[in-house]
Amino acid sequence: MSKTLVAVAMSGGVDSSLTAALLKEAGYQVIGISMQMQPDEGNGRASRPTCGSPRDLGDAGRVCQVLGLPFHVVDVRSQFETCVVDYFCTEYARGRTPNPCVVCNRQIKFDLLLRHALSLGAEYLATGHYARIERRGQACSLLRGADPSCDQSYFLYRLGETELQRLLFPVGQYTKAEVRRMAAERGLPVAGKPKSQDLCFVPEGRYHDFVAQRVSAGPGE
């Protein structure tokens, strides 16, 4: 009997890395899949590793090598620029408070990446989000993660039942401390990698400077 194929969205961080390890241990056939969202390094956008950067893709690839998993990279730079970065700059320039992570999850990770995972034959896409899914037959409900200090269900609120039926959040039942401990026990090379704090596409959190470089000044609304 063939094993269920699960694609794991690998960010290069500890959460998605442990997700891949746990699913492999549970008997699933696992492949790693990462999104290249950031331009090549050296263009001046980011001076440290960021989500979807070449350095983070390298970390994800090393984890897959340690776990003996196939690894795929999907170039979504154009879509990320249009759907997420342009949206952020437009809203910020208008004096509003954008939430690019919600938009990225809905339009990039759980749309483009999910469809790519399914095209590879995967039945599920798993991520390292701190959230849980309650399944009752064909019905799915999104629940908070077990660790209240790391809960990420808010960023996933726009996901519908169609997406939730195809998703797995294995680390949602653990605390961050437990995840780091389990990653270290398994010898994952990113077990001690710092948690990212700022938006992945804004260098050092300089939001105003970033937006000013991209949006022409005009009268306020």
Burial class (CB in 10 A: 0-12, 13-18, 19+), 118: middle
**Residue from 51, 89, 101, 200 carrying the catalytic annotation:** 200
200 is catalytic: yes
64 is catalytic: no
User: Cα(44)–Cα(38) distance, rounded to whole angstroms?
Assistant: 11
Q: How are strands ordered across the β-sheet holding 167-168?
A: 71-75, 29-36, 5-9, 124-126, 167-168
Neighbouring C-beta atoms of residue 143, cutoff 10 Å: 14
* Residues 6+ away with beta carbon under 8 Å from 209: none
Residue among 62, 171, 58, 76 nearest 114 (CA): 76
CA distance readout (Å), 211 to 165, 206, 218: 37, 9, 13
**Residue from 83, 89, 104, 140 carrying the catalytic annotation:** 104
Decide if 158 contacts 106 (C-beta within 8 A).
Answer: yes
Residue among 38, 28, 37, 35 nearest 9 (CA): 35
- Which residues are catalytic, by number? 104, 200
